Amino acid sequence: MSTATASEVARLRAEERFKKTALREREAAEARRHEEERGRAETAKVERLRALRLARDAEQAAAAALRLEEKRAAAELAAQQPAPAKRQRRSAQS
């Protein structure tokens, strides 16, 4: 068996610390990338939902405007037509 000198032991410890530090840095970088991906996915989802909501709101506004226009047209048409003649009641003597 060979015995390690103090300088070899110190070098091995330093290498081990370096490896652990490098591993932690890689794991931290991977975690940051993962969080950034989640953030982008969340942003994309929010943008998609916002676009859907805006499209729905625009469709509802258009439908409401159409209903209002139909009511106006019906009211205008009703105003142009003469009132129906009142029916005369039959008298009891007839």
Mean pLDDT of 38-59: 98
| Concatenated DSSP letters of 54-84 | HHHHHHHHHHHHHHHHHHHHHHHHHHHSPPP
From residue 64, how far is each of 52, 77, 78, 90 by CA, in Å?
18, 20, 21, 47
pLDDT at 4: 79
Please give the helix or strand (H or E) that residue 92 lies within, else none: none
Asked whether the predicted pLDDT for residue 94 surpasses 60, the reply is no
pTM of the full predicted structure? 0.56
Mean pLDDT of 36-41: 98
pLDDT at 1: 46
Q: How many residues does the chain have?
A: 94
